[in-house]
Amino acid sequence: MEAKEIIVSGLLDLYAAGLCTEEESLEVSYWLQQSPEIAAAYAGIQDGIEHYAMAQAMVPAGDVKEKIWARLPEEVSVNRITPVKQPSNSVIQMNWKWLAAASILLLIGSGIVNLLLYQHVQTLAIVNEQTTRELADSRKGLNSLQADLQVMQNRYTEAVKLNGVNATPNATAKIYWLKNTGEVYIDPANLPDAPAGNQYQLWAIVDGKPVDAGLIVTTHKGNTYRIQKMKTFGHAQAFAITLEKEGGSLVPSLEKMVVMGKL
């Protein structure tokens, strides 16, 4: 018989109801093993019946469950049962034990690996943070160097060398004066460090009079300041740097002049 014929015959429906003869039951159980199509049809029938029964369910009184539990045979611990059972069963039990042991060990192992990986991630995070900070520092340095270079390479830039005067023959400084905008930059790299409590001040000589052009930072927390922007001048005849007390002065102390350069 074909699977389809068997399915439409209604024999499976009878089988699900438990209404088959013994002979028919044997046949059906053989077909169920042989044909997935028949097995699927049988599963469908059982589904339908189960749904039908569930749809007509009636919740029993709450104490019914207790009454049943009270009548269950006394609980025997699993450990005690095992050796009494058939050997095949205890083999399964043993395998199961080993499986349980293995899975617990696996769990512990995975926990340890997790911990190690976590620590590794922590280390990497620290290294990463450090690298990021260094990169940011380098970028800052590069940016300032590029800014310096831009000032020097600007086509309107006029470089003015300020030479040491008699008291300080070795001191030099450079002024970059952007003629189009009047911006003044100074490179104080070759000025000696200002003594404590003192600070260099730049002056522009405009129409024969010294005009404050700003204070120069030579050192700050151990870093030598490179090219820095000073006040802007439309025109000037000369620039000079004097050593003043910290905070600067209104009028230059000419005797403390360090460098000077004419345009």
Interface contacts to another protein, rule CB under 8 A = 8-11, 13-19, 29, 32-33, 42-61, 64-65, 67-68, 71-72, 75, 78-79, 97-98, 100-101, 103-104
CB of 31 to another protein, least distance (A): 12
- CB nearer another protein, residue 24 or residue 129: 24
3-state secondary structure of 133: helix
CB of 114 to another protein, least distance (A): 19
CB of 59 to another protein, least distance (A): 5
- CB nearer another protein, residue 31 or residue 239: 31
- CB nearer another protein, residue 85 or residue 245: 85
CB of 65 to another protein, least distance (A): 6
241 Cβ neighbours under 8 A, 6+ residues apart: 162, 173, 188, 191, 200, 201, 202, 203, 216, 257, 258, 259, 260
CB of 130 to another protein, least distance (A): 43
- CB nearer another protein, residue 10 or residue 247: 10
- CB nearer another protein, residue 104 or residue 135: 104
How far CA 238 is from CA of 17, 206, 216, 261, in Å, comes to: 116, 7, 17, 6
Q: How far is CA 16 from the centre of its chain?
A: 60
How far CA 102 is from CA of 99, 105, 188, in Å, comes to: 5, 5, 73
Token readout for 57 is 């369910």
Q: Strand locations in the chain, DSSP E?
A: 157-164, 172-178, 184-187, 198-206, 209-216, 219-220, 223-224, 228-229, 238-245, 257-262
- CB nearer another protein, residue 74 or residue 207: 74
CB of 2 to another protein, least distance (A): 16
Token readout for 239 is 């620039």
Torsional sign, CA 246, 250, 253, 254: positive
What is the identity of the amino acid at 6? Answer: I
Query: Is 62 in contact with 56 (CB distance < 8 Å)?
Result: no
